[in-house]
Structures are given as C-alpha cells and as structure tokens.
Amino acid sequence: MRVRGVVAAGLLGLSWFAALARPPAARPSADRAASYLGYFEVRELLSEGQNEQARARLEQVLETDPGAADLHAALARLCLKEGDVLCAEARARRAAELAPDLAEAHRVLAEIHLQRHQRAAAPGALDEALKEFAAAAAVQPGDSGTWMAWVRTLASEGRTAEAEDVARRAAAVPGLDPSAPWMVLARVLLAGEGAEAAIALLDRIDPQQRSSPALLEMLADLKGGAGDLAGQAAALEQLRRVRPDDGDAAHRLGAVRLELGDFFGALAPLQDAYAMRPGDPLVRRDLARALVRLGRGGEALPLLRRLPPVHQTPHTLLLWAQAAEQAGLPAEAAEQLETLLTKLSDADLATYGPSVRLQAARSWLRAGRTEKALALARAEKDDPAALRLVLDALDAAGRSAEADALLEARRAAAPASPAVIALLAKRAARIGGRAAGLDAALANLRRAEGKGAAAAEVATWLTAWEAPQLGASLLDAVGLSENPSPQQLRARATTLHAAGRLGEAEAAFRRLIELDPQDDAALNDLGFLLADEGRSLEEAVKMLEKAVQLRPEEPVYLDSLGWALHRAGRSSEALPLLQKAAQKAREREEPVIREHLGDVYFALGDADRAQAEWQAALAMGSAQDERLRKKLDDLRAGRGER
C-alpha cells in the first residue's frame, strides 16, 4: 500500500525556521556576538514574512561565523522552503558535519530524500530518508515531530509493521504524548486501507498507551461506524474511566447500550450524563427511554414533560405514552398518542395510524372515557380488533344492548367471518358459559364453507383474545380431517398449547414438521414447548438451533433457544442469545423475553439485573403477572427489603 502525497514538504509539522528556536551555541566572543545578532534579526525578518532578506542575512552571518551549525540548519530549512534543494542539502550536510547531534539537519535531509522518492522514485531515496529520521530521533528523542514524520512515512509506504515498531518506541519516550504516534498511524491506515485496518491497529495497542481520550474517541467512532456496538461501548467505557466528568462520553455510552438492548447497563451512564447536563433534551430523552424500558415510567414522565416541542417527535410521544401507562395515567397516554397522530406524514399515517388509534382507544377506555374510545375505535371499521374494542367500550358504558345489536349487524353483513363468529362465541360464553359459547360458534359455522378450515380460523381468533379453552372445545367438536392443511394443524397446535393440552399440541407440531422440516415457526413452537416443560431438552435445543439458522434475526426464536439452553443448565451460553433477543425487540413490548433474561441473570448470580428485567416484564403487562410478582417478592425478601 502506498499513499502518495501524504508525506510532502512541511511534513515534519515544524516551523520552517525551527533551527532558530534557540540561539546558536556559544563560541569565541566576536563570532558569538555576530551569530547572536544575526539570530535575532533573522527571527524578526522571518516573523514578518521577509524570507529573501532573512536568507541574505543568514548567508552574511555565516560568512563571518561559518561554524554556526544551527544557522546552517536554519538556512537549509529556508532554502528548502523556497525550493532551492541544492542549497538546502549543502547547508544541512554542513550543519550535520559541524554538529552531528543537531536534529534539524537530519530532519531537513530526511525531507529532501523523501521529496526525491515521491517525485522521481529515486533509488535508495526512501531508505536514506528513513535513516535521517532515525538519526534525528536518536539525537533529539524528545522531538515529537520527528517521530510523527517517521511513523507517517513508513505507514504511507505500506510498511505498517515497521511503523508500529517506531510508534511503540515513540510512545515509550518520557515526556511525549504516548497516543500521538498511534493517532498518526491510525489516520494513515484509515485513509489508505479503511476503517478495518485502523480498528485492528487500535485493538493491538497496549491498553496503557491506548488510554488517551483522543485514541479512545477515535476507536469508539470507528467501532460505531463499523456497526460494532459492543466494541464501541467498550471503548466508551474506557473513555469514561479516563474522563469521568465527560458528560458527552457518558451520554454516548448510555445511548449505545440502549441500542444493544442493555437498558440496565444504560441507566447509570445516562443518569451521570443527566447530572452533568440536566438541560440537554437529548440526555433527558434517552434517560427516559432507559427508565421506560425498565418499567419505571413514573420516573421518566417528568423528563419527557420537560422536552421542548422540537424534540416531541412521534417516537418520543410513543415513549411518553408508554411511560404514562406504566405510571397508571392512561388518559395522559391517550393524549400523547393522539398528538402523535397529528405528527405523522401521510404515508406513515396510512401505515401506523390504525394501530396508534386503537392503542389510544384502549388507553381512553382504561381511563373511563368511553366516548373518546368509541370515536377512535369506530374509525377502524373493518378491523376485528376495533370491533372488539367497540363492544368492550359499549359494555363499559352500560350499553350492552347496543353492543349486541352491533354484533348482530356485523354477523348479518358477514356471516362467515371467523373474527365475528369468535366474538359471538365469546359473548355467548360470557353470559352462559363455555357450552353456550361453543353452541354459538357451531351455529354460525354452519354458514361457512369448509367447516374445518373456518373452525381453525375461529379458534385462532379465540386464542388471540384470551379464550383458548373455548377455541380448543370448538376444534374438538368439529374434529380434524384425515388430511388436514398446515393452517388447520397450526391453529390446532397453537390453540391446544395455549389451552394447556401439551401432549396433543406436541403431536400437532410434529405433524407440521413432518410435512415441512423447514417450518421454522413449528420448530420454534415445539422447541419452546419442550424447553418450557423441561423435557427432551437436547432435542429442543437442536430444533431451536435450526429455527434460528432459518431466521437468525427473529427475537422470539433467539429467546426460545436461549430459554432451552438455560433450562438445560447452560445459562452462560443462553445469556448472549437472550441479550440479542432483547436488543432486536428493544422497541417492542416482549415481556417473555425480558422475564427469561431476568431468570438467566438470576441463575448467573446477578440479582440486580434480574430484578430490573423482571420489573420491566411486569410493567409491560405480562400474562404471568402473579409469577413475576412472586419472583420479585422472593428476591426482595431474600435481601431483607420490604
């Protein structure tokens, strides 16, 4: 690798009258007086930009004091600046003869050789330049410019191993910034070979020399740009140790941990960032996000309420609604969701509007504002979930007769609709028990073509609406045809699983896998069933590994595999899978994933993280609320907490 033009005239990063940084060395009185006088005059001329006059004065002084090596070196630098290479080389060699320990003479010679190498590829010029850099560093090891130029030259010519060796030597020189040569080398690699080479270099550096803020910031930026969030977090953690009062580093670390789905790990740096920068709206937003993901919406609300309007984006408003729900303030949640609707573009409104409206309607219903809930739910006329919500709102308002009439009208308009039949069955079961619900479902199924397929769809709706026992009874009554479709088998398997009839569910899942060994959903569901039961764990792990192989980014599958490994006593292997599942589902409410992650943390002895994950799962409204409360109560009791 060769990076042309990286090392050019002026590459040393020195002033071109660097030799005049100190007066000439002492000599007999007359010569010494002339040299001193010339020294000050030349510096003044150079500072005024009068280069020609400065050169003439230097030549005049050197006629009377030809042994002033420092002034020969200064004239060499000035000649080089003006492009007079012959003068520069002659004066630099004379300076080196007079004072072999004069670093500036070697630096000028190094630059002359380097120019010849770059402009004309003169044979041996590069090696001569490198020798002069080595000589300059040897006589003046405390000069950082020489080391930097030496490192940059080697790296630009693709001699990375040699450049690393020189950088390591430079970093060990007392008084020099140990990070500087590594920064130079990393930047050359970044420009020539790309981020991967620069990252590899920074990862190889001794941690002691890598502890400078500049290097850690570069490493964090490069890791982040390469998508290595874990590596970025590690670099930012080091930076935080070096600069504990750096609010920006604390915020960045917290934000990266949020992206990793490590909400517990994000909390402490974000709290530190907030303490240092309480007025920063982005810090407040991200801290609120961490708190909500940990089920602590009540603590997040004050932060969100103080955000200026410009930061009240749809994403932040959704976060605000979640915080309000967790804090037991459904009316505030509904208000934020309705505000969110006004901020969506037409395209996003078409895509996300229905689900946001229904979410707002549910919040209004929980707040007892049935008319507001009805208005939003009725806007989604063809959505079965909206119809169910309208019925619930009418019942809550004491208008059950109106609800019955509405459902009957829907039945008359779509007599074969599985969702409508499921709602009729649920309503009948609520009044007359499961038998009445089953009768209602069977009576309405007579109007449907393909009774078995229709019954499977009705059972699927009933299971989704927390009535799996009724769905299972319906499937029993209709029976399974001799050659059922995969859809019927899947509905049977999931309904029976939800109803607790695990043996029958397992048989249905196995038939699905026989029909299609690549059925990732069936592999996941059966693997999870077995793992949850704690049996055939080796088979469960193999099934789930295959499901993950088929869909490696699906968080539910990652969770299932992690859970199976945990149940098999392999919690250490389970942890990264569950962490990845939480990361992939970080913007979704997946209480089961968070509960499983808490269980694994607890098994590995991290009670603090376990408690945080269980609390988050509970705040999401897990179907296993009582089980979660018992886990939390037992943990607190074991710690002596109330």
- Across 314-328, 469-483, 494-508, least confident range: 469-483
pLDDT over threshold 70, residue 34 = no
Token pair in block for residue 595:
């509960």
- Across 34-38, 243-247, 612-616, least confident range: 34-38
pLDDT attached to residue 27: 47
CA distance 486 to 39: 95
pLDDT attached to residue 36: 66
pLDDT attached to residue 640: 59
Percent of residues, the chain, with pLDDT higher than 70:
93
Computed over its alpha carbons, how large is the radius of gyration of the chain? 37
Token pair in block for residue 144:
């950082």
pLDDT in tens, 105-155: 999 999 999 999 988 888 899 999 999 999 999 999 999 999 999 999 999
For 486-521, give one letter per residue: b (16+ CB within 10 A) or e: eebbbbbbbbbbbbebeebbbbbbebbbeeeeebbb
pLDDT-derived band at 319 (thresholds 50, 70, 90) equals: very high
Token pair in block for residue 351:
């895509």
pTM score: 0.82
pLDDT over threshold 70, residue 491 = yes
DSSP 3-state of 504: helix
CA distance 196 to 214: 18
Task: Answer whether 363's CB lies under 8 Å from 321's CB.
Answer: yes
CATH topology of domain 530-642: 1.25.40
Chain position carrying tokens 């932060």: 303
Residues 6+ apart with CB under 8 A from 581: 555, 556, 558, 559, 562, 590, 593, 597
Token pair in block for residue 414:
């779509």
CA distance 203 to 16: 36
302 versus 71: which is more confidently predicted?
Answer: 302
pLDDT in tens, 406-425: 999 999 999 889 999 999 99
Nearest to 423 by CA among 435, 402, 408: 408
pLDDT in tens, 179-219: 899 999 999 999 999 999 999 999 988 877 777 898 999 99
pLDDT over threshold 70, residue 33 = no
pLDDT-derived band at 18 (thresholds 50, 70, 90) equals: very low
pLDDT attached to residue 418: 94
CA distance 46 to 51: 6
Task: Answer whether 494's CB lies under 8 Å from 525's CB.
Answer: yes
pLDDT over threshold 70, residue 9 = no
CA distance 555 to 597: 12
CA distance 278 to 612: 24
Q: What is the mean pLDDT of residues 159-168?
A: 94
Nearest to 46 by CA among 34, 36, 58: 58
Token pair in block for residue 137:
């560093």
The H helix count followed by the E strand count for the chain is: 35, 0
**What H or E segment, with its residue span, contains residue 343?**
helix 330-343
pLDDT-derived band at 237 (thresholds 50, 70, 90) equals: very high
* Mean pLDDT rounded to a whole number for the chain: 89
Task: Answer whether 402's CB lies under 8 Å from 422's CB.
Answer: no
Would residue 501 be called left, alpha or beta, if left means φ above 0 and alpha means ψ between -120 and 50 degrees? beta
Q: What is the mean pLDDT of residues 491-511?
A: 95
pLDDT in tens, 45-89: 777 778 788 788 888 888 877 888 888 888 888 899 889 999 999
Measured between its terminal Cα atoms, the distance across the chain in Å is 66
Q: What is the DSSP letter of 19?
A: G
Percent of residues, the chain, with pLDDT higher than 90:
73
**What H or E segment, with its residue span, contains residue 143?**
none
Token pair in block for residue 345:
């573009």
pLDDT-derived band at 22 (thresholds 50, 70, 90) equals: very low
User: What does residue 107 show for φ and ψ, rounded to 5 degrees?
Assistant: -65, -40
641 versus 534: which is more confidently predicted?
Answer: 534
pLDDT over threshold 50, residue 344 = yes
Residues in the chain: 642
